[in-house]
């Protein structure tokens, strides 16, 4: 009896490890391929049979796409000259500013909802529509409106629309943290005569500091990788990294996989670092704070 139980346990452990390992390979292989291609010399980007390990590994792709170092490449592949660094700066400014605005105003709204019910539950769900209706349905009028008021192709334009579309996440996620703060502290502050705004900024928000950081980093993932709105609102003056990457597609020079991969790694690594830092809060973020761990 105990023998069969041990056996059964061993079998179930084997099944578990093999299924998990299989998916781990599926999940990891494309990422491995992107990274390894970024270190390959140009004859190995697109060869038959495929080259699984860069041999010899080279930094030429990185030096070329990120720093415009043309001596590292055959001239036909040298598309860029330092543009990606400018795009990275744009991406950084746009993503951090819009995310900061969303979290700052989102947290204040969330406080109002949690403690003063400034939005009913029905209104809170209506707020989610800002996120749930696909942005494609408003991008055409948005771009015409932006061109009329001079926000097309500007950082401000993109910041404002990211602020608006990520606000539901910010409100819901910070509300889930504020709900966990006991009210006694605020009541004490009120009795001691602190104004409502002082209570928010000096008591409640500091108490949910780590939650605010998690919310900020979570929304940063969304704004950093956004594609559609950036594609339509930015033209020539302001490009973000995802748009910069798509410029490498269908160039007349043909497939420039190594260059694309070097750029892609640079876009993805910051995101992965952020995601791994807040891995415990990802479920809460994506579920608008409805699921917690």
Partner 1 sequence: MSVAAVPAASVPSKPAARTRARRHSIRVFRWSILAPLIALLAFILLPVLFLQLYFSFHQWTVYLGSWWEADYVGLDLFKEVLSDPRFGWAVVRSLVFATGSTIGCFVVGFALAYLMAKPFRGQAVYYLIFILPMLTVPVVVAYTAEMLLYQSGPINDLISRIIGLDFKPMWLTDPNIALPTVMLLEIWNWAPFSFIIMLAGLAAIPKEPIEAAEILGASKWRIFWEVQLPLLRPVIFLALVLRFLEAMAEFPKTWALFQGGPGTATETLPVYIFLTTWQYFEISKGAAMSYIVMLLMIGIVLIAIRLLRREKSSLDSMYGQAAHAEPPA
> Scanning residues 73 to 102, which ones bind partner 1 (CB under 8 A)?
none
6 binds partner 1 (CB under 8 A): no
10 binds partner 1 (CB under 8 A): no
In the shown chain, the binding pattern of residues 15 to 54 toward partner 1, with x for contact by CB under 8 A and - for none, equals: -x--xx--xx-xxx-xx-xx--x-------xx-xxx-x--
**Residue ranges of the alpha helices (H) in the chain?**
2-38, 60-67, 83-116, 121-132, 136-149, 155-178, 184-191, 196-198, 205-207, 209-225, 228-233, 241-246, 257-277, 282-286
Give the C-alpha distances (Å, rounded to integers) separating 206 from 87, 136, 211, 232. Answer: 34, 37, 10, 38
In the shown chain, the binding pattern of residues 125 to 164 toward partner 1, with x for contact by CB under 8 A and - for none, equals: xx-xxx-xxxxxxxxxxx-xx--------------xx-xx
Q: Which is nearer to partner 1, 31 or 71 (CB)?
A: 31
Q: Which is nearer to partner 1, 56 or 182 (CB)?
A: 182
193 binds partner 1 (CB under 8 A): no
DSSP class per residue in 166-212: HHHHHHHHHHHHHTTS-THHHHHHHHTT--HHHIIIIIIHHHTHHHH
114 binds partner 1 (CB under 8 A): yes
179 binds partner 1 (CB under 8 A): yes
Mark the segment that binds partner 1 (CB under 8 A) among 12-20, 55-63, 64-72, 207-215: 12-20
CA distance 110 to 82: 42
CB of 145 to partner 1, least distance (A): 5
């Amino acid at each position: 009896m105990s023998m069969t139980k041990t056996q059964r346990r061993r079998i179930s452990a084997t099944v578990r490890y093999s299924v998990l390992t299989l998916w781990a390979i599926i999940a990891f292989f494309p990422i491995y391929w992107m990274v390894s291609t970024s270190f390959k010399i140009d004859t190995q980007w697109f060869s038959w049979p495929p080259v699984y390990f860069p041999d010899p590994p080279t930094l030429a792709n990185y030096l070329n796409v990120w720093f415009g170092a043309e001596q590292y490449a055959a001239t036909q592949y040298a598309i860029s000259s330092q543009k990606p660094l400018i795009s990275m700066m744009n991406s950084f400014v746009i993503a951090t500013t819009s995310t900061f605005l969303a979290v700052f105003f989102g947290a204040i709204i969330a406080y109002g909802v949690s403690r003063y019910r400034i939005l009913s539950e029905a209104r809170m769900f209506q707020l989610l529509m800002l996120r749930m209706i696909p942005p494609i349905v408003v991008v055409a009028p948005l771009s015409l409106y932006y061109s009329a008021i001079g926000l097309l192709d500007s950082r401000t334009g993109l910041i404002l629309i990211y602020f608006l579309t990520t606000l539901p996440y910010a409100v819901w996620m910070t509300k889930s943290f504020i709900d966990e703060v006991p009210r006694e502290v605020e009541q004490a502050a009120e009795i001691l005569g602190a104004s409502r705004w002082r209570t928010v900024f000096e008591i409640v928000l500091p108490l949910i500091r780590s939650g605010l950081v998690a919310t900020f980093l979570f929304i940063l993932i969304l704004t950093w990788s956004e594609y559609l709105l950036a594609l339509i609102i930015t033209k020539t003056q302001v490009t973000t990294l995802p748009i910069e990457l798509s410029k490498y597609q269908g160039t007349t020079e043909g497939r420039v996989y190594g260059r694309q991969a070097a750029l892609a790694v640079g876009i993805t690594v910051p995101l992965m670092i952020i995601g791994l830092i807040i891995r415990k809060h990802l479920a809460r973020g994506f579920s608008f704070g409805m699921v917690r761990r």
